[in-house]
Amino acid sequence: MKLKFLLAIMLVLAGISCSKTEDKIEKEPEKPEVPVSPVEPEAPQKPEEDPSEATNERSPEAVKLLDYLKSIYGEKILSGACTNVNWNTNEAQWVYKHTGKWPAINCFDFIHLPFSQPGGWIDYSNLEVVEEWHQAGGIVAIMWHWNVPANNGSDWSFYYGNETDKTKFDVRKIFDESSLEYKRMIKDIDLVGSYLKTLKDKGIPVIWRPLHEAGGRWFWWGMDAAACQQLWKVMYKRFAEAGINNLIWAFTPAAAWQEPYSKGFDWYPGDEYVDIVGMDVYNQSSASDCYTLDFKFLQTQKPEKLAALTECGNVATISSQWNAGAKWLFFMPWYDYGRTSDPQSAAFNEQSHSNASISWWKDAFNSDYVLSRDDVKY
């Protein structure tokens, strides 16, 4: 798989969320020792259904977490860090090293699902790092940069396009149960579901953010709004049927070049399928804009939902955003691959960062309304 720097796509990004991602980079992942080629997926096997669990009722742990999120909303803001590419807490470790405080949330990513295998260079069945984060009092979040076969037949991509290293994977096939695309989507959903189910069985609730930024139409799942909505609903219902009820669902809209912010909600699957709405905001130094264009926008669109800064980079300080009225549920700066990919490196000792420097973090933690991991109580 070759995930390239976002050079070409940055020419078309504007509007909301990833419209501000000029400096956001998806790191090209390490290659597995044995090249993996796309294979024709097997017919999907429906997850074993426990009749007592085939319901949308949440697990007790998820109920407690959601109640906690609702109780602090507007009064406190949870700090968050995202994984460095896939399955680690490197960014959170870096923040702790330089501030003495852990972020409250760590967000992991199923980006390397096609390469995951027991004992391999990426193994999503090894949940130790997630369990340790939860046991230490942290909140677990997971997102999914959903890789599918690229156009060249040998690589993988989540970016839609005609280029050989991008993909023309057709999300509309979610309506065609006989198609290979449908079978692949279901197979991947079930595989991810198996990991989420293990977390559920261990009593770990998850803030789950799939199919993000669909309205920007730079990811394959966003190329058709109705199909994306259907894909979300299929995932939601399939997880429910498998007893995966430890999830708090987060939806992040986006809009393509010269489209209004509100266009991003054309991909919204429905209130019954979403708990949190978020914005991915980059290169926005005005706290007033962070409030008006982002936070207030979400509140206007979905006043009954919790609003979060689900990704950010080079934005106004949290204290200035808060004072301007942007009282997010949580914030989460994007990672800096070079800064935090190796906690043993000299780079890890530096305090600069492509998205959120230590001075930015210290400003946040100096505010009594910003919660660290030690402050989380639910």
CA angle centred on 112, ends 176 and 276, rounded to 5°: 70
**Cα dist. 137→7, 38, 59, 313, 323 in Å?**
38, 39, 18, 25, 28
The rounded distance, in Å, linking the Cα atoms of 217 and 136 is 38
Element (H, E) at 92: helix 90-99
The rounded distance, in Å, linking the Cα atoms of 11 and 258 is 12
The active-site residue out of 26, 91, 259, 311 is 311
User: Read out DSSP for 166-206?
Assistant: SB---GGGGG-TTSHHHHHHHHHHHHHHHHHHHHHHTT--E
Instruction: Kindly report the backbone phi and psi dihedral angles of residue 314, in degrees, each rounded to the nearest multiple of 5, phi listed first.
Output: 55, 50
Give, rounded to a whole angstrom, the gap between the first and last alpha carbons of the chain. Answer: 40
Report helix, strand and coil shares of the chain as percent, to nearest 5. 40, 15, 45
Is 177 among the residues known to form the active site? no
Residue pointed to by tokens 């602090």: 72
Is 22 among the residues known to form the active site? no
The rounded distance, in Å, linking the Cα atoms of 161 and 9 is 10
Q: What is the DSSP letter of 159?
A: B
Are the C-beta atoms of 160 and 220 separated by less than 8 Å? yes
The active-site residue out of 181, 213, 241, 259 is 213
Q: Is 349 exposed, middle or buried (0-12, 13-18, 19+ CB in 10 A)?
A: exposed
Catalytic residues: 213, 311
